[in-house]
Amino acid sequence: MSDCMQCCIKEEEFKHNKYPTAILEVCECNLARFPQVQAFVHKDMARQFGGKVRVKHVRGVRPQVALKDADSKTQEVLSVEKWDTDTLIDFFNQWLE
């Protein structure tokens, strides 16, 4: 039984930076191709994060999240094309301060 945990990775090894704000960038003309992201935008799910998550319409962009530091400078950009609404919500809960 003592060998059981040898190949497991401790959770603290997965620590990451947290950011004060995030911008979900979408293109309204492409949004229908990504129904889960579309639902997040049209149901105003960003509101539950109290202004920490904003939706920005950028022409021609595929759905992505830009994580911003305290100076509003982009630190990381992640594609969210294949994410569902639950994944987006979980991500924002874990990555935002």
The pTM is what?
Answer: 0.84
- DSSP class of 32: G
Bridge-based pairing of strands 64-68 and 53-57 is unpaired
Could you list the beta-strand ranges (E) of 28-73: 53-57, 64-68
Q: Where are the alpha helices (DSSP H) in 1-97?
A: 35-42, 85-95
pLDDT at position 10, please?
64
Q: What is the mean pLDDT of residues 60-81?
A: 97
Question: Rounded to whole angstroms, how far apart are CA atoms 52 and 88?
Answer: 13
- Interval 69-95 mean pLDDT: 97
Domains, the chain, with CATH or none: 17-95 (3.40.30.50)
Which of the four pLDDT bands, split at 50, 70 and 90, describes residue 61?
very high
Residue 71 CA neighbour count, 13 Å, CB half:
3
pLDDT digits (tens, 9 = 90+) for 1-49: 567 767 776 655 567 899 999 999 999 999 999 999 999 999 999 999 9
